[in-house]
Structure 1
Amino acid sequence: DHPSPKHSRTRRHLRTFTALTAGALSLASTSLPLTLPTAAAHAQTPPSATASGPVWPGPDGRPGATGRWITDPAGRTFIYHGENIVAKKAPYTPESIGFGDDDISFLKANGYNAVRLGIIWEAVEPQPGQYDEAYLDNIENTVRKLADAGLGTLLEVHQDAWSKRYGGEGAPDWASLDQGLPALPGGLIAAQFSPAVYQAVNNFFSDAPAADGVGIRTRFVNMWGHVSQRFATVPGVIGYSPINEPTPGWPFLLCQADLCPQPVVDRLISLNADVAKTVRQQDPRTTIWPMAYITTALGTHPQMGAPVDPNEVYPFNSYTIICNIGINLPGFICDPHQRLNAARSREYAEQWNIPYAMTEFGAIGSPGVLTTQSRIADDNRIGWFHWNYGGPDHTTSAPSPENQAMVKNPQLPPTGDNVNTDNLTNTVRAYPKSVSGTPLSWGTDQNKVFTARWNGQRVDGTGSFAPGATSVITVPPALYPNGYTATVTGGRVLSEPGAMDLVIAADGPGDVNVSIAPR
């Protein structure tokens, strides 16, 4: 496809962005790791459920944070492989971009078990304190359909460029207070240098009042209270993420150089803490996924301080400027910076003994980027959510929305040429969806041979799973169109030959080793 003028403008802004931030990125990549005080481990109360088969999702099957792992109520570790689904234009509903039952079936059939579903503040609260229940009903309907198919939903308030006033989406117009400063055209990239966006963000963090006299930050926190009350008992909700890629505003370049002023760091920590506190008043069970500033998506340290909630997962988005501007570069060029992004996130998560996951990667149809990023997730033993499933995306850095998508046009059935087969096969991987024990390693080599190893030790430190406890490895059919063979030591296969969900019962608490190869 030929890029539209909008995409051409985006690439021009990307070139400007590259030049302006090259020095900042250089500083970021050579900075010393943050030194943070040691925190006690965050662990759930040991569950009483037995480890038979996966019991999640369900109304009482909320996953939780147990040390560095996400676990189900029976104490099994749970890994997510998901897609991002965000409608960036009014009415901001998944169905408005064509996402429906056939897309849910497509995700399930290709081995996915979760989605990161963006909701838009403007749609939730079109006027101060007035919530659009019809919009939330629509979102809930999608979440329930996903749960019925066995897919969990991470609900996140999505924003790019703060709001549609500045060429993006997110905040309502009544919460876009810029004192008349100029806005740079160009969407997401230009927003990082736009005085109007900087001022709007500063007014948000300062809780500047809207026309009704109530602070806009206060309204945002209260909005999260309403959303979490609505979804506290909805099946399949796996987490709440307060805000996507928040921008630091005026100190953007300092933050990109890993020199973010402490007051700027503190105001995001405070926002996440207030959202967490408000959510907990409505929903005591669902994990909270507070995100660091957008600069961490390009390799800076996640200056997040101590976790704001005992049941917290750290989400990070991972991009590389030179590998996300429409140039199909080989993986070895992108690999170092992408590994740096993951390493910085791992440092933070390990420092505080909390789980972490890659909530965005891709945004381009590059085999090098997609294969490298999914391999990095395997190496770090974490889950991921690819950007994105499909649909209009006016703030992407990709050559076109179709280039980055799994399904080029969700308004049409996800079959034939409408499926971006290269993106699918370069992204999806076999993975240990549910493990009765502690995952030790997993990954797929260049010959498409998948290996995994775990033992029966519970990750909460309370002992071992009983002999016969089951684990599930999901094997997406796209990886092995002619089928696969599985070799297991330390356990036995319970599922049918060639099943997408390979179910293995452990012989005991020792190591289980699995190898899967194409036929």
Structure 2
Amino acid sequence: MTSEPADVIGPLHMRGRELVDATGRVVLIHGTNVVNKSEPFLAPLENGWLGPQDFAEFQADGFNGIRLGVWAAKLMPAPGVIDTDYLAEVAQVIDTLTAQNLWVLLDFHQDVFWGMPSWATTAEAAALSPTAPKEIEAAIGWAANYLSPRSLQQWNDWWAQVPVSEGRSAIDLYGDGVAALANEVKDETNVMGIDLINEPFPGDKFFECVTSCGGRYRQAEAMYTSLTARVNQAAPGLAVWWAPFNIGEPFPDTPAPGANVGYTFHAYCYDTDGGEPVQPAPAPSALCDAVFGSVFSDAHSVSTRWNAPTLLGEFGASQSPLNATRTTQLADEYLMSWMHWHHPGTWPEVVRTQLVRAYAQATAGHPVSQHFDPATGDFYFRYQPDESVLAPTSIVLPAAQYPDGYSATVTGGTVTSQANSGRLTVESDQGAAEVRVHVQRTAPEA
């Protein structure tokens, strides 16, 4: 088996619910988050983060995308001030990732308002306790601090667009940084867009959002519309991604935002930031099946209603295989791209076998269905070819899943890659209405 670079030909653009590369092929992305939450608040270009060893690992695993954390507090140290040196550092990392044949999603990251500029917190919020009730923290860990008095007030002020400097709200000033980043990367061919804010929180409407969050979503829609306009002005054609609250029905009354807007969501359920590398008991498995099924169904609904692409921006974060097994299965079923959380990280084999998988990274036509079984290595893919697309369909086959090679059976097309290449390429037969691909592991020699 050979290991091949990702088949990435930018720029990437949105066409209805599909991501399409410069050749016209429909793209699926399997990648990882790389978010540095401490100085310099950007992943360094060194082994352990984004160095030669990491790039070799990404290639061997078949990854073709990175969700790269950008820190708003670093980018915007004071109201109306942009750190241009930090912007240049971000551009340098993007250039390096581009040279490694990787798509790049830029993620304005925050957790419990950590990552937001200090000036975005009003004096009223700053005076409150940052600690959640102990019983809630014991139940759900660090994320309980979203329910601390300070966090609730920070988010309430954020959505109410309370002025924080010279009559301007935090959202308005935040838009300065979003626009500056968009302008910096507007000519970067491998940037697939900007994730405008990581895991926005509804503040004191959290429990109300379990059943109905329409009022808060109207405020979120106003924020996203404003930030999207800033991006469109700075970098016409650059995609943006809107994220929901991590509770309740997403964007229930929000109309389609228009061109170059995608929907990104996160899916967590069991033993996040912990867990054991064993198959979980039936009860949590059933619970998480329901949770993940609902989250993916909601994402599909928004994607259909908006006629927009969908990206699973975070999942995993656990030694338990449960958070990676059902999510990757559902992503295949819905033909969705994904970014696992997180690199650097050490994941047990029961998790890695779910992440390192066969998939169609670029399709010369319209994907119909995709299925991969990590236990057997069987991979099935169907697509409707588009003869106007001249580049071949490109399928990732990681050596870890095919240690002794593979055989590929194609109906309606022809294999054009070398035997046991880590990148299986297929060209459709003239006039074929559908192409079917079946890949099987080669049995080890006795």
Shift of the 104–263 alpha-carbon distance from structure 1 to 2, 3 Å rule, reads: same
How far the C-alpha of 1:325 sits from its partner, in A, is 6.1
SS in 1 for 2:240: coil
2:309 is aligned to 355
TM-score by length of 2: 0.88
Percent identical pairs in the alignment equals 27
Letter in 1 for 2:51: D
1:395 is aligned to none
Distance of 1:467 and 1:228 partners within structure 2: 29
Select which of 45, 61, 67 maps to 2:16.
67
Select which of 495, 499, 502 maps to 2:421.
499
1:448 is aligned to 377
Letter in 2 for 1:182: S
Contact 1:494 1:504 in 2 (8 A): yes
1:475 is aligned to 397
Distance of 1:319 and 1:427 partners within structure 2: 15
User: Does residue 235 in structure 1 map to residue 189 in structure 2?
Assistant: yes
User: Does residue 490 in structure 1 map to residue 435 in structure 2?
Assistant: no
2:29 is aligned to 80
2:98 is aligned to 147
Letter in 1 for 2:121: S
Contact 1:468 1:506 in 2 (8 A): no
SS in 2 for 1:313: strand
Shift of the 443–208 alpha-carbon distance from structure 1 to 2, 3 Å rule, reads: same
User: Does residue 373 in structure 1 map to residue 338 in structure 2?
Assistant: no
Shift of the 205–322 alpha-carbon distance from structure 1 to 2, 3 Å rule, reads: same
Shift of the 235–74 alpha-carbon distance from structure 1 to 2, 3 Å rule, reads: closer
Contact 1:63 1:73 in 2 (8 A): yes
Contact 1:323 1:334 in 2 (8 A): no
Distance of 2:328 and 2:146 partners within structure 1: 27
How far the C-alpha of 1:118 sits from its partner, in A, is 1.1
Normalized per residue, the structure richer in strand is 2
SS in 2 for 1:94: coil
Letter in 2 for 1:502: L
TM-score by length of 1: 0.76
Q: How is 1:2-401 mapped onto 2 (pairs within 5 angstroms)? A: 56-57=8-9, 61-95=10-44, 98-102=48-52, 103-163=54-114, 170-177=115-122, 178=125, 180-184=127-131, 188-255=142-209, 257-260=210-213, 262-295=214-247, 300-303=249-252, 305-320=254-269, 326=275, 329-330=280-281, 331-390=285-344
Distance of 2:388 and 2:102 partners within structure 1: 27
Contact 1:438 1:454 in 2 (8 A): yes
How far the C-alpha of 1:109 sits from its partner, in A, is 2.6
CA distances 1:237-268 after superposition (whole Å, capped 9, x unpaired): 0111110110000111111x1321x3311110
Distance of 1:489 and 1:373 partners within structure 2: 29
Shift of the 56–286 alpha-carbon distance from structure 1 to 2, 3 Å rule, reads: farther
Shift of the 376–427 alpha-carbon distance from structure 1 to 2, 3 Å rule, reads: same
How far the C-alpha of 1:324 sits from its partner, in A, is 6.9
CA distances 1:353-389 after superposition (whole Å, capped 9, x unpaired): 2111211110112123212211110011111110111
How far the C-alpha of 1:96 sits from its partner, in A, is 8.1
2:3 is aligned to none
How far the C-alpha of 1:349 sits from its partner, in A, is 0.9
Aligned length: 419
Letter in 1 for 2:17: R
CA distances 1:17-51 after superposition (whole Å, capped 9, x unpaired): xxxxxxxxxxxxxxxxxxxxxxxxxxxxxxxxxxx
Distance of 1:286 and 1:180 partners within structure 2: 39
SS in 2 for 1:371: helix
Segments of structure 1 that go 5 or more residues without pairing to the other structure are 1-53, 164-169, 391-404, 409-418, 457-463
CA distances 1:103-125 after superposition (whole Å, capped 9, x unpaired): 12321232111111111110111
Distance of 1:467 and 1:344 partners within structure 2: 32
How far the C-alpha of 1:452 sits from its partner, in A, is 0.3
